[in-house]
Structure 1
Amino acid sequence: MTTVRIDPPYRTADETAMLTAWLDFHRATLALKTEGLTPEQLRERSVPPSALSLAGLVRHMAEVERAWFQGVLQGGEFEEGLFWTKEDRDGDFNGVDTADAEADFATWQAQIELARKAAEGLPLETVGKRLRHGHEVTLRWILVHMIEEYARHNGHADLLRERIDGSTGE
Protein backbone atom coordinates (compact mmCIF):
# COMPACT_ATOMS: atom_id res chain seq x y z
CA MET A 1 0.00 0.00 0.00
CA THR A 2 1.27 3.44 -0.90
CA THR A 3 0.73 6.15 1.66
CA VAL A 4 -0.59 9.48 0.48
CA ARG A 5 0.52 12.40 2.59
CA ILE A 6 -1.42 15.63 2.12
CA ASP A 7 0.17 18.94 3.03
CA PRO A 8 -1.83 20.90 5.59
CA PRO A 9 -3.57 24.03 4.28
CA TYR A 10 -1.57 27.24 4.42
CA ARG A 11 -4.32 29.74 5.24
CA THR A 12 -7.74 28.49 4.32
CA ALA A 13 -8.70 26.39 7.34
CA ASP A 14 -10.16 27.07 10.74
CA GLU A 15 -8.21 25.98 13.80
CA THR A 16 -9.83 22.55 14.09
CA ALA A 17 -9.22 21.73 10.44
CA MET A 18 -5.64 23.03 10.67
CA LEU A 19 -4.76 20.98 13.75
CA THR A 20 -6.41 17.87 12.35
CA ALA A 21 -4.61 18.30 9.02
CA TRP A 22 -1.25 18.61 10.77
CA LEU A 23 -1.94 15.52 12.87
CA ASP A 24 -2.91 13.54 9.78
CA PHE A 25 0.23 14.80 8.01
CA HIS A 26 2.40 13.44 10.82
CA ARG A 27 0.49 10.16 10.96
CA ALA A 28 1.12 9.74 7.23
CA THR A 29 4.79 10.65 7.71
CA LEU A 30 5.27 7.73 10.10
CA ALA A 31 3.56 5.44 7.62
CA LEU A 32 5.90 6.68 4.86
CA LYS A 33 8.95 6.09 7.05
CA THR A 34 7.98 2.43 7.43
CA GLU A 35 6.81 1.74 3.89
CA GLY A 36 8.51 -0.96 1.84
CA LEU A 37 10.40 -2.59 4.69
CA THR A 38 10.30 -6.25 5.66
CA PRO A 39 9.01 -7.29 9.08
CA GLU A 40 12.61 -8.03 10.07
CA GLN A 41 13.71 -4.53 9.08
CA LEU A 42 10.81 -2.99 10.99
CA ARG A 43 11.88 -4.90 14.12
CA GLU A 44 15.54 -3.88 13.80
CA ARG A 45 16.71 -2.05 16.93
CA SER A 46 18.56 1.24 16.84
CA VAL A 47 21.60 1.05 19.11
CA PRO A 48 22.00 -1.01 22.29
CA PRO A 49 20.74 -0.64 24.95
CA SER A 50 17.82 1.15 23.26
CA ALA A 51 14.75 -0.93 22.37
CA LEU A 52 13.76 1.62 19.71
CA SER A 53 12.59 0.22 16.36
CA LEU A 54 10.18 1.29 13.64
CA ALA A 55 7.80 -1.50 14.67
CA GLY A 56 8.02 -0.27 18.24
CA LEU A 57 7.22 3.28 17.17
CA VAL A 58 4.11 2.10 15.31
CA ARG A 59 3.00 0.07 18.32
CA HIS A 60 3.76 2.99 20.64
CA MET A 61 1.72 5.41 18.54
CA ALA A 62 -1.22 3.00 18.60
CA GLU A 63 -1.00 3.12 22.40
CA VAL A 64 -0.72 6.92 22.38
CA GLU A 65 -3.74 7.35 20.10
CA ARG A 66 -5.74 5.08 22.42
CA ALA A 67 -4.57 6.73 25.64
CA TRP A 68 -5.34 10.29 24.58
CA PHE A 69 -8.53 9.91 22.61
CA GLN A 70 -10.24 6.92 24.21
CA GLY A 71 -8.68 7.39 27.62
CA VAL A 72 -8.31 11.08 28.42
CA LEU A 73 -10.86 12.55 26.00
CA GLN A 74 -13.59 9.90 26.36
CA GLY A 75 -12.82 8.74 29.89
CA GLY A 76 -11.86 5.14 29.16
CA GLU A 77 -9.70 3.26 31.64
CA PHE A 78 -7.42 0.42 30.66
CA GLU A 79 -5.89 -2.20 32.94
CA GLU A 80 -3.39 -3.07 30.21
CA GLY A 81 -2.47 -1.67 26.85
CA LEU A 82 -2.66 -2.97 23.36
CA PHE A 83 1.00 -3.99 23.64
CA TRP A 84 2.07 -3.22 27.20
CA THR A 85 1.19 -5.10 30.34
CA LYS A 86 1.47 -4.41 34.05
CA GLU A 87 4.64 -6.50 34.00
CA ASP A 88 6.12 -4.74 30.95
CA ARG A 89 5.07 -1.11 30.66
CA ASP A 90 7.34 -0.77 27.62
CA GLY A 91 5.90 -3.80 25.84
CA ASP A 92 5.15 -1.68 22.80
CA PHE A 93 8.92 -1.40 22.27
CA ASN A 94 10.16 -4.51 24.06
CA GLY A 95 7.82 -7.01 22.43
CA VAL A 96 8.69 -6.47 18.78
CA ASP A 97 11.01 -9.46 18.30
CA THR A 98 8.10 -11.78 17.53
CA ALA A 99 5.61 -9.08 16.55
CA ASP A 100 3.29 -9.46 13.58
CA ALA A 101 3.98 -6.29 11.61
CA GLU A 102 0.81 -6.51 9.55
CA ALA A 103 -1.37 -6.93 12.64
CA ASP A 104 0.45 -4.13 14.47
CA PHE A 105 -0.04 -1.72 11.57
CA ALA A 106 -3.74 -2.68 11.43
CA THR A 107 -4.02 -1.99 15.17
CA TRP A 108 -2.38 1.42 14.72
CA GLN A 109 -4.72 2.33 11.85
CA ALA A 110 -7.74 1.14 13.85
CA GLN A 111 -6.68 3.35 16.77
CA ILE A 112 -6.34 6.33 14.41
CA GLU A 113 -9.88 5.76 13.18
CA LEU A 114 -11.18 5.47 16.73
CA ALA A 115 -9.36 8.70 17.61
CA ARG A 116 -10.93 10.52 14.67
CA LYS A 117 -14.39 9.32 15.73
CA ALA A 118 -13.78 10.31 19.35
CA ALA A 119 -12.91 13.90 18.36
CA GLU A 120 -15.39 14.27 15.51
CA GLY A 121 -17.62 17.29 15.89
CA LEU A 122 -16.28 18.28 19.31
CA PRO A 123 -15.30 21.90 19.96
CA LEU A 124 -11.61 22.41 20.67
CA GLU A 125 -12.54 23.63 24.16
CA THR A 126 -14.00 20.23 25.06
CA VAL A 127 -12.41 19.11 28.31
CA GLY A 128 -11.34 15.49 28.52
CA LYS A 129 -13.24 13.25 30.91
CA ARG A 130 -10.06 12.11 32.63
CA LEU A 131 -7.24 14.11 34.11
CA ARG A 132 -3.73 13.79 32.76
CA HIS A 133 -1.14 14.03 35.54
CA GLY A 134 -3.73 15.79 37.70
CA HIS A 135 -4.68 18.37 35.09
CA GLU A 136 -7.66 18.88 32.85
CA VAL A 137 -6.80 19.04 29.17
CA THR A 138 -8.88 20.17 26.22
CA LEU A 139 -9.22 18.59 22.81
CA ARG A 140 -7.06 21.47 21.50
CA TRP A 141 -4.32 20.49 23.98
CA ILE A 142 -4.61 16.82 22.96
CA LEU A 143 -4.34 17.63 19.24
CA VAL A 144 -1.31 19.86 19.77
CA HIS A 145 0.31 17.23 21.98
CA MET A 146 -0.35 14.51 19.41
CA ILE A 147 1.30 16.62 16.69
CA GLU A 148 4.31 17.04 18.97
CA GLU A 149 4.37 13.33 19.81
CA TYR A 150 4.34 12.28 16.16
CA ALA A 151 6.84 14.95 15.13
CA ARG A 152 9.31 13.81 17.80
CA HIS A 153 8.94 10.15 16.92
CA ASN A 154 9.08 10.87 13.20
CA GLY A 155 12.55 12.26 13.86
CA HIS A 156 13.44 8.93 15.46
CA ALA A 157 11.89 7.13 12.48
CA ASP A 158 14.05 9.17 10.11
CA LEU A 159 17.22 8.01 11.82
CA LEU A 160 16.05 4.40 12.09
CA ARG A 161 15.09 4.26 8.42
CA GLU A 162 18.36 5.82 7.31
CA ARG A 163 20.25 3.23 9.38
CA ILE A 164 18.27 0.37 7.82
CA ASP A 165 18.49 1.22 4.13
CA GLY A 166 19.90 4.73 3.72
CA SER A 167 16.51 6.21 2.86
CA THR A 168 15.96 9.80 3.91
CA GLY A 169 13.23 12.30 3.24
CA GLU A 170 10.81 14.74 4.76
Structure 2
Amino acid sequence: MNRRPGGEVDGARVTSVAADLSTEEGAARVVDQLPRRTRRRPRAAPCASTAATWTPSCPEGHGSSVASWPAVIMVEDGPVTWIAPEIERVGGSKTGDERALLQGMLDWYRATLLQKCAGLTGEQLATATVPPSNLTLLGMVRHMTKVERTWFRRRFSGEAVETAYSTPEWKDADFEDLDPANAAGDHARLIEEWKLADAAVARASLDDTFVHDDGEEISLRLIYVHLIAEYARHSGHADLVRERLDGVTGA
Protein backbone atom coordinates (compact mmCIF):
# COMPACT_ATOMS: atom_id res chain seq x y z
CA MET A 1 0.00 0.00 0.00
CA ASN A 2 1.45 3.35 -1.05
CA ARG A 3 0.39 6.38 0.91
CA ARG A 4 0.64 9.68 -0.93
CA PRO A 5 -0.08 13.30 -0.03
CA GLY A 6 -3.53 14.59 -0.86
CA GLY A 7 -5.44 11.83 0.89
CA GLU A 8 -4.81 8.94 -1.48
CA VAL A 9 -3.86 5.33 -0.90
CA ASP A 10 -3.04 3.47 -4.11
CA GLY A 11 -5.21 5.97 -5.99
CA ALA A 12 -8.28 5.66 -3.75
CA ARG A 13 -9.59 8.66 -1.83
CA VAL A 14 -9.28 8.38 1.92
CA THR A 15 -10.49 10.16 5.01
CA SER A 16 -8.08 10.33 7.93
CA VAL A 17 -9.49 11.06 11.37
CA ALA A 18 -8.35 10.56 14.93
CA ALA A 19 -10.85 9.64 17.60
CA ASP A 20 -11.33 7.72 20.80
CA LEU A 21 -12.67 4.49 19.38
CA SER A 22 -13.27 3.03 22.82
CA THR A 23 -16.51 5.03 23.05
CA GLU A 24 -19.69 5.05 21.01
CA GLU A 25 -19.39 8.83 20.65
CA GLY A 26 -15.88 8.54 19.26
CA ALA A 27 -16.93 5.94 16.73
CA ALA A 28 -19.92 8.05 15.70
CA ARG A 29 -17.63 11.03 15.09
CA VAL A 30 -15.53 8.93 12.75
CA VAL A 31 -18.58 7.74 10.83
CA ASP A 32 -19.94 11.28 10.51
CA GLN A 33 -16.74 12.39 8.77
CA LEU A 34 -16.81 9.64 6.16
CA PRO A 35 -18.13 10.12 2.62
CA ARG A 36 -21.81 9.15 2.67
CA ARG A 37 -21.46 6.00 0.58
CA THR A 38 -18.70 4.65 2.80
CA ARG A 39 -20.46 5.31 6.10
CA ARG A 40 -20.51 2.31 8.34
CA ARG A 41 -19.30 1.61 11.83
CA PRO A 42 -15.51 1.54 11.63
CA ARG A 43 -13.54 -1.44 12.79
CA ALA A 44 -12.02 -0.26 16.04
CA ALA A 45 -8.54 -0.79 17.34
CA PRO A 46 -8.04 -4.47 18.24
CA CYS A 47 -8.82 -4.08 21.93
CA ALA A 48 -11.99 -2.05 21.57
CA SER A 49 -15.11 -4.16 21.60
CA THR A 50 -17.35 -4.11 18.56
CA ALA A 51 -20.40 -5.13 20.59
CA ALA A 52 -23.53 -3.04 20.31
CA THR A 53 -22.91 -1.54 23.74
CA TRP A 54 -19.39 -0.53 22.65
CA THR A 55 -17.93 -1.59 25.99
CA PRO A 56 -14.12 -1.78 25.88
CA SER A 57 -12.95 -5.36 26.29
CA CYS A 58 -9.19 -5.60 26.39
CA PRO A 59 -6.92 -8.58 27.08
CA GLU A 60 -5.23 -8.82 30.47
CA GLY A 61 -2.31 -6.48 30.84
CA HIS A 62 -3.30 -4.32 27.86
CA GLY A 63 -5.37 -1.77 29.73
CA SER A 64 -8.25 0.30 28.40
CA SER A 65 -7.07 3.68 29.62
CA VAL A 66 -5.24 4.86 26.52
CA ALA A 67 -6.45 8.43 26.08
CA SER A 68 -7.10 8.21 22.35
CA TRP A 69 -6.66 5.53 19.76
CA PRO A 70 -4.28 6.11 16.83
CA ALA A 71 -5.46 7.53 13.54
CA VAL A 72 -7.83 5.49 11.42
CA ILE A 73 -7.71 5.64 7.65
CA MET A 74 -10.99 4.99 5.85
CA VAL A 75 -10.52 3.84 2.26
CA GLU A 76 -13.51 4.61 0.05
CA ASP A 77 -15.24 1.43 -1.13
CA GLY A 78 -12.66 -0.66 0.71
CA PRO A 79 -11.76 -2.05 4.13
CA VAL A 80 -10.72 0.07 7.09
CA THR A 81 -6.94 0.35 7.21
CA TRP A 82 -5.05 1.59 10.26
CA ILE A 83 -1.96 3.67 9.64
CA ALA A 84 0.52 4.48 12.41
CA PRO A 85 0.16 8.15 13.42
CA GLU A 86 2.80 10.83 13.53
CA ILE A 87 4.50 11.17 16.92
CA GLU A 88 5.60 14.48 18.39
CA ARG A 89 9.12 14.32 19.81
CA VAL A 90 9.73 16.84 22.57
CA GLY A 91 13.31 17.66 23.45
CA GLY A 92 14.09 17.39 27.14
CA SER A 93 16.14 19.70 29.34
CA LYS A 94 19.75 20.34 28.36
CA THR A 95 20.70 21.90 31.67
CA GLY A 96 18.56 20.07 34.23
CA ASP A 97 19.62 17.73 36.98
CA GLU A 98 20.55 14.12 36.32
CA ARG A 99 17.01 12.75 36.65
CA ALA A 100 15.60 15.32 34.23
CA LEU A 101 18.33 14.63 31.68
CA LEU A 102 17.84 10.85 31.86
CA GLN A 103 14.06 11.11 31.60
CA GLY A 104 14.28 13.56 28.71
CA MET A 105 16.68 11.35 26.77
CA LEU A 106 14.53 8.27 27.39
CA ASP A 107 11.38 10.09 26.25
CA TRP A 108 13.14 11.28 23.10
CA TYR A 109 14.20 7.78 22.11
CA ARG A 110 10.80 6.35 22.98
CA ALA A 111 9.17 8.76 20.56
CA THR A 112 11.88 8.18 17.95
CA LEU A 113 11.02 4.50 17.65
CA LEU A 114 7.35 5.24 17.04
CA GLN A 115 8.19 8.09 14.67
CA LYS A 116 10.03 5.53 12.52
CA CYS A 117 6.69 3.68 12.31
CA ALA A 118 4.59 6.70 11.34
CA GLY A 119 2.67 6.45 8.08
CA LEU A 120 2.91 2.66 7.80
CA THR A 121 0.21 0.00 7.84
CA GLY A 122 0.22 -3.07 10.06
CA GLU A 123 1.38 -5.18 7.12
CA GLN A 124 4.33 -2.89 6.52
CA LEU A 125 5.24 -2.74 10.21
CA ALA A 126 5.32 -6.55 10.31
CA THR A 127 7.56 -6.86 7.24
CA ALA A 128 11.20 -7.88 7.65
CA THR A 129 13.26 -5.98 5.06
CA VAL A 130 16.90 -6.65 5.97
CA PRO A 131 17.54 -10.39 5.44
CA PRO A 132 18.65 -12.64 6.95
CA SER A 133 17.48 -10.68 10.02
CA ASN A 134 13.85 -11.16 11.05
CA LEU A 135 13.70 -7.73 12.68
CA THR A 136 10.56 -5.73 11.96
CA LEU A 137 9.31 -2.39 13.23
CA LEU A 138 6.32 -4.08 14.85
CA GLY A 139 8.58 -6.61 16.53
CA MET A 140 10.70 -3.80 17.96
CA VAL A 141 7.61 -1.98 19.26
CA ARG A 142 6.47 -5.16 21.01
CA HIS A 143 9.98 -5.87 22.32
CA MET A 144 10.31 -2.44 23.90
CA THR A 145 6.93 -2.89 25.57
CA LYS A 146 8.35 -6.04 27.16
CA VAL A 147 11.60 -4.31 28.11
CA GLU A 148 9.85 -1.33 29.73
CA ARG A 149 7.56 -3.59 31.75
CA THR A 150 10.33 -6.00 32.75
CA TRP A 151 12.81 -3.44 34.07
CA PHE A 152 10.65 -0.71 35.56
CA ARG A 153 7.60 -2.58 36.79
CA ARG A 154 8.44 -6.26 37.30
CA ARG A 155 12.06 -6.01 38.45
CA PHE A 156 12.47 -2.60 40.08
CA SER A 157 8.97 -2.06 41.47
CA GLY A 158 8.15 -5.72 42.03
CA GLU A 159 4.71 -5.48 40.42
CA ALA A 160 2.94 -8.81 39.96
CA VAL A 161 2.39 -8.44 36.21
CA GLU A 162 3.13 -10.98 33.52
CA THR A 163 5.91 -10.58 30.99
CA ALA A 164 4.60 -8.83 27.91
CA TYR A 165 4.21 -11.10 24.89
CA SER A 166 6.93 -13.65 25.65
CA THR A 167 6.50 -16.97 27.46
CA PRO A 168 9.03 -19.48 28.85
CA GLU A 169 8.25 -21.67 25.84
CA TRP A 170 8.57 -18.83 23.31
CA LYS A 171 11.02 -16.22 24.62
CA ASP A 172 11.19 -14.31 21.33
CA ALA A 173 7.44 -14.14 20.77
CA ASP A 174 7.66 -10.35 21.04
CA PHE A 175 9.72 -10.33 17.84
CA GLU A 176 8.21 -13.34 16.11
CA ASP A 177 4.52 -13.81 16.98
CA LEU A 178 3.32 -10.90 14.86
CA ASP A 179 -0.18 -10.21 13.59
CA PRO A 180 -0.50 -7.13 11.34
CA ALA A 181 -4.18 -6.91 12.29
CA ASN A 182 -3.13 -6.23 15.90
CA ALA A 183 -0.60 -3.51 15.03
CA ALA A 184 -2.78 -0.67 16.34
CA GLY A 185 -3.19 -2.45 19.66
CA ASP A 186 0.54 -3.16 19.93
CA HIS A 187 1.30 0.49 19.15
CA ALA A 188 -1.14 1.71 21.81
CA ARG A 189 0.14 -0.82 24.31
CA LEU A 190 3.68 0.59 24.15
CA ILE A 191 2.43 4.11 24.81
CA GLU A 192 0.39 2.85 27.75
CA GLU A 193 3.43 1.00 29.10
CA TRP A 194 5.43 4.23 29.05
CA LYS A 195 2.88 5.81 31.37
CA LEU A 196 2.78 2.83 33.70
CA ALA A 197 6.57 2.57 33.82
CA ASP A 198 7.00 6.26 34.62
CA ALA A 199 4.38 6.03 37.36
CA ALA A 200 6.04 2.96 38.86
CA VAL A 201 9.31 4.81 39.52
CA ALA A 202 8.05 8.37 39.99
CA ARG A 203 8.69 8.40 43.75
CA ALA A 204 11.96 6.46 43.64
CA SER A 205 15.48 7.86 43.79
CA LEU A 206 18.06 7.10 41.14
CA ASP A 207 20.11 5.58 43.96
CA ASP A 208 17.36 3.11 44.91
CA THR A 209 18.16 -0.48 44.00
CA PHE A 210 16.69 -3.94 43.55
CA VAL A 211 18.36 -7.35 43.58
CA HIS A 212 18.36 -9.11 40.23
CA ASP A 213 17.67 -12.84 39.91
CA ASP A 214 21.42 -13.42 39.57
CA GLY A 215 21.99 -11.76 42.95
CA GLU A 216 23.42 -8.53 41.56
CA GLU A 217 22.23 -5.21 43.00
CA ILE A 218 21.08 -2.78 40.31
CA SER A 219 20.15 0.90 40.71
CA LEU A 220 17.31 2.79 39.05
CA ARG A 221 20.02 4.98 37.50
CA LEU A 222 21.43 1.98 35.65
CA ILE A 223 17.94 1.01 34.45
CA TYR A 224 17.50 4.42 32.84
CA VAL A 225 20.89 4.12 31.15
CA HIS A 226 20.07 0.60 29.97
CA LEU A 227 16.68 1.62 28.52
CA ILE A 228 18.21 4.59 26.69
CA ALA A 229 20.88 2.33 25.21
CA GLU A 230 18.27 -0.28 24.23
CA TYR A 231 16.10 2.27 22.44
CA ALA A 232 19.12 3.83 20.73
CA ARG A 233 20.24 0.43 19.46
CA HIS A 234 16.82 -0.43 18.07
CA SER A 235 16.38 3.05 16.59
CA GLY A 236 19.40 2.26 14.42
CA HIS A 237 17.80 -1.02 13.41
CA ALA A 238 14.56 0.85 12.69
CA ASP A 239 16.40 3.28 10.39
CA LEU A 240 17.53 0.41 8.16
CA VAL A 241 14.20 -1.45 8.19
CA ARG A 242 12.24 1.72 7.36
CA GLU A 243 14.55 2.79 4.54
CA ARG A 244 14.21 -0.63 2.90
CA LEU A 245 10.42 -0.45 3.25
CA ASP A 246 9.70 2.83 1.49
CA GLY A 247 12.93 4.81 1.22
CA VAL A 248 12.18 7.10 4.16
CA THR A 249 15.29 8.27 6.01
CA GLY A 250 16.03 10.77 8.75
CA ALA A 251 16.57 10.96 12.48
TM-score by length of 2: 0.63
Q: Distance in 2 between matches of 1:76 and 1:49?
A: 37
1:120 aligns with 2:183: no
- Say which of 87, 92, 105 aligns to 1:8: 92
Counterparts in 2 of 1:158-169, with a 5 A limit? 158-169=239-250
CA RMSD of aligned residues (A): 1.6
Where does the alignment leave 5 or more consecutive residues of structure 2 unmatched? 1-84
Where does the alignment leave 5 or more consecutive residues of structure 1 unmatched? none
1:25 aligns with 2:73: no
- Say which of 80, 99, 104 aligns to 2:186: 104
Helix, strand or coil at the partner of 1:96: coil
Q: Distance in 2 between matches of 1:127 and 1:114?
A: 19
* Residue number in structure 1 paired with 2:79: none
* Residue number in structure 1 paired with 2:148: 65
Flag the structure with higher strand content.
2
Q: Distance in 2 between matches of 1:98 and 1:134?
A: 39
1:89 aligns with 2:175: no
Identity of aligned residues (%): 45
Instruction: Map Cα deviations across residues 28-54 of structure 1 (whole Å, 9 max, x no partner).
Output: 000100011011100001334422100
Instruction: Give the letter for the 1:44 counterpart.
Output: T
Q: Distance in 2 between matches of 1:10 and 1:102?
A: 33
Number of positions where the alignment pairs a residue of Structure 1 with one of Structure 2: 167
Shift of 1:119: 1.2
Q: Distance in 2 between matches of 1:21 and 1:124?
A: 14
The worse-fitting range, judged by mean Cα deviation, of 82-91 and 147-156 is 82-91
Helix, strand or coil at the partner of 1:169: coil
Instruction: Give the letter for the 2:158 counterpart.
Output: G
* Residue number in structure 1 paired with 2:126: 43
Instruction: Give the letter for the 1:94 counterpart.
Output: E
Higher normalized contact order (CA 8 Å, seq sep 6+, divided by chain length): 1
Query: Does structure 1 conserve the Cα–Cα contact (< 8 Å) formed by 2:123 and 2:180?
Result: no
Helix, strand or coil at the partner of 1:85: coil
* Residue number in structure 1 paired with 2:222: 141
Helix, strand or coil at the partner of 1:137: strand
Shift of 1:169: 0.8
TM-score by length of 1: 0.91
Flag the structure with higher helix content.
1
Helix, strand or coil at the partner of 1:2: coil
Query: Does structure 1 conserve the Cα–Cα contact (< 8 Å) formed by 2:129 and 2:136?
Result: yes
